[in-house]
């Protein structure tokens, strides 16, 4: 935001607090949280008129915003974003990806939360293996990044579940309640 009179120009970056206020020299706290840019400009100009003749206020919104990172990362959650943050940098903010389970060939970027939202599949694996950064796009406020599991990670979970039953089977020599098997007889299991 900058403000000026005919003699001096003052410019600075002011952050809106969690209460929706900004703190300015001369006029202290100004509640702008529910105002659009033009309304905030008019309110600040009005308050500055006590100290500056015909203040000229210009407001530029720097949307810091938040992004959500979910899936196979070490610290999934909601993150504040900085300007020029890429998808891979955002993943690194979330404690990096799970090297054993993350499928970097199919990272999902969801931009927007309404019917017009855009869903993109990004291949960040090629960035690591071939230094190809074409899919390492910049994130925007409100983006959701999802790192899915690899097929092998899903198969490993499946194997672990099946192994419980297989080990039970072999520990008893047969499945519970199965009839005895006669030599030369085909084995059928029917629940």
CATH superfamily, region 2-58: wza like domain (3.30.1950.10)
Place of tokens 């990004």: 122
Tell me how far apart the alpha carbons of residues 179 and 175 are, in angstroms, rounded to a whole number: 9
Classify domain 66-151 at the CATH topology level.
Outer membrane lipoprotein wza fold like (3.10.560)
Q: Are 78 and 144 in contact (CB under 8 A)?
A: no
Domain with CATH 3.30.1950.10 in the chain: 2-58
Handedness of CA 96, 101, 105, 111 (dihedral sign): negative
φ and ψ of 53, to 5 deg: -75, 130
pLDDT, tens digit (0-9, with 9 covering 90-100), for 139-176: 988 889 999 988 876 666 666 766 666 566 566 555 45
Q: How confident is the model at residue 123 (pLDDT cuts 50, 70, 90)?
A: very high
Query: Whole-prediction pTM value?
Result: 0.52
What is the longest distance spanned by two Cα atoms in the chain? Answer: 106
pLDDT, tens digit (0-9, with 9 covering 90-100), for 65-115: 788 999 999 999 888 888 789 999 999 999 999 988 899 999 999 887 666
Q: How confident is the model at residue 57 (pLDDT cuts 50, 70, 90)?
A: confident
- Report the SS3 class of residue 26: coil
Tokens of 173: 């020599």
Label residue 189 exposed, middle or buried (CB < 10 Å: 0-12, 13-18, 19+): exposed
């Amino acid at each position: 935001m900058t403000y000026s009179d005919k003699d001096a120009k003052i410019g600075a970056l002011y952050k809106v607090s969690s209460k929706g206020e900004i703190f300015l020299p001369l006029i202290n706290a100004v509640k702008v949280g529910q105002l659009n840019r033009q309304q905030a400009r008019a309110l600040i100009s009005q308050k500055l008129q006590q100290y500056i003749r015909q203040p000229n206020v210009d407001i530029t919104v720097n949307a810091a915003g938040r992004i959500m990172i979910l899936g196979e990362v070490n610290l999934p959650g909601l993150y504040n974003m900085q300007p020029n943050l890429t998808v891979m940098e955002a993943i690194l903010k979330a404690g990096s990806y799970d090297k054993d389970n993350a499928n970097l060939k199919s990272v999902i970027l969801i931009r927007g939360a309404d019917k017009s939202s855009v869903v993109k599949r990004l291949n960040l694996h090629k960035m690591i293996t071939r230094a190809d950064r074409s899919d390492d796009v910049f994130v925007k406020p409100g983006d959701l990044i999802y790192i899915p599991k690899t097929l092998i990670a899903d198969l490993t979970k499946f194997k672990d579940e099946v192994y419980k039953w297989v080990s039970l089977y072999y520990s008893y020599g047969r499945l519970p309640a199965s009839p005895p098997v006669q030599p030369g007889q085909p084995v059928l299991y029917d629940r």
